[in-house]
């Protein structure tokens, strides 16, 4: 049993993950477009397939660190 004043730290689960679909994220959180544009560039949104890809696949195709993208999404967007 834990003593008075000591609380268990509950680890927060990340809100976004690499398996999420880019199009669904943008539909639900339009402000995510800014973060995807930062990492993938403006041209990415001209590709019709980009909305069907996962965040991981987009990062792979653009040679970006998926963990940085997830970190930015989780920091900037409040779910």
Question: Locate tokens 């976004």: which residue?
Answer: 16
Distance (Å, whole) CA 14 – CA 37: 21
What is the predicted pLDDT for the residue at 23? 92
Residue 21 φ/ψ, nearest 5 degrees: -80, 130
Q: What is the pTM of this model?
A: 0.78
Q: How confident is the model at residue 14 (pLDDT cuts 50, 70, 90)?
A: low
Q: Are 20 and 34 in contact (CB under 8 A)?
A: no
pLDDT at 19 over 90: yes
Distances (CA, A) of 73 to 3, 5, 8, 21, 62: 37, 34, 27, 13, 17
pLDDT at 36 over 60: yes
Q: How confident is the model at residue 29 (pLDDT cuts 50, 70, 90)?
A: very high
């Amino acid at each position: 049993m834990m003593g008075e004043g000591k609380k268990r730290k509950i680890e927060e689960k990340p809100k976004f993950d690499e398996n999420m679909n880019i199009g669904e994220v943008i539909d639900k959180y339009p402000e995510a477009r800014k973060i995807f544009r930062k990492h993938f560039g403006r041209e990415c949104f001209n590709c019709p397939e980009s909305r069907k890809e996962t965040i991981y696949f987009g990062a792979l195709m653009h040679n970006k660190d998926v963990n940085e993208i997830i970190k930015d999404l989780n920091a900037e967007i409040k779910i």
